[in-house]
Amino acid sequence: MKTFIFGEAMLEYHSHGGAGLRYGGDTLNTAIHMARRGCDVAYVTAVGTDPISDAVVASWENEGIDTAHVHRHPERSPGIYAIHLDQAGERSFLYWRDRSAAREMFDLPGMQATLEEARDCALVYYSLISLAVVDDRGRSALLGLSHDRKAAGRAIAYDSNYRPVLWPRPSEAQVVSAAAVSAATLGLPTNVDERHLLACSETERELATRWRSLGCDEVIVKAGEQGCLYAGSGEETTFPAQRVDVVDSSGAGDAFNAGFLHARMTGADLPAAVGAGQALARETLGHLGAIRMPGNRS
């Protein structure tokens, strides 16, 4: 049961330091967490042909990720981001991604073969960031894949991670995200992202109702310390969250997605899958960085 995860991976500089090569990105974080739990995961992105690109791809292979669909751009390299934490563990970011290879991944040789293979896999997962970093052709290809899979009864998971800096206008992000919601079978939005995207004050229930009205079959609305809300066909359930001391909030939502998706794909019922997602999110909140790198116990 292979999962194809589409997105952008970046090199990470953390204000609290940390030795060794660090990398991250919302969908990559989810891919690594799922691979560490034994999932068969293919990560779809583009990097350069430089030694640092070689090193990060080798690291992903060591994590158990299938890197056959990590495409190489002859003139570009991975983007970079910096994280700064405040005293409460909340993060702010700076990005250097204009020359990111992932921006042109759908123009590279081999991507059509990737899309064809992804048509029949167990699950396709991507985020609004995945759609933001590529051009219109890339968005059309990924959304087309999703609509085709949904029509064939295959699973597509989508998280509307919203980063305003990636969009020329909020209205454009709203249109693209709505198209992705309509093509998804499972939605994994965060309440804060959605409110920011739409400049609204929707409750979690209103958010889930809107996603369902757009055509998304099931929705899990992540609400941080308030827990999460599930809405599906004829069912709505709220799951409270356990309190945790936050060291670093980076990647908690990505971790929830990984724990939830892995559990569902291995046959867990809804409460068990939500519990798995929340447990992995709590673990991630307790250490620096979105991903605990091998050998780094901080």
Active-site position among 217, 248, 254, 269: 254
Percentage of the residues of the chain whose pLDDT score is greater than 90: 76
* Backbone Cα Rg of the chain: 18
The 3-state DSSP class for residue 148 equals helix
Q: What is the pLDDT of residues 92-130, one digit of tens each?
A: 667 778 889 999 999 999 999 999 999 999 999 999 999
Label residue 298 by pLDDT band (50, 70, 90): very low
Would you call 193 a catalytic residue per the annotation?
no
Residue at 67: amino acid letter: T
Task: Please list, in sequence order, all residues whose beta carbon lies within 8 angstroms of the beta carbon of residue 169, skipping any fewer than 6 positions away.
Answer: none
Q: Are 119 and 48 in contact (CB under 8 A)?
A: no
- On whether the pTM is more than 0.85, the answer is yes
Q: What is the pLDDT of residues 144-194, one digit of tens each?
A: 999 999 999 999 999 999 999 999 999 999 999 999 999 999 999 999 999
Mean pLDDT of 255-281: 96
> What pLDDT is stored for residue 98 in this prediction?
80
Which CATH architecture fits 2-285? 3-Layer(aba) Sandwich (3.40)
Burial (Cβ within 10 Å: 0-12, 13-18, ≥19) of residue 283: middle
Q: How far apart are the first and last CA of the chain?
A: 33
- Locate the domains of the chain by residue range: 2-285
Within 10 A of 198 (CB to CB), how many other CB atoms are there?
18
18: left (phi over 0), alpha (psi -120 to 50) or beta: left
Alpha-carbon distance of 202 to 189, in angstroms, equals 13
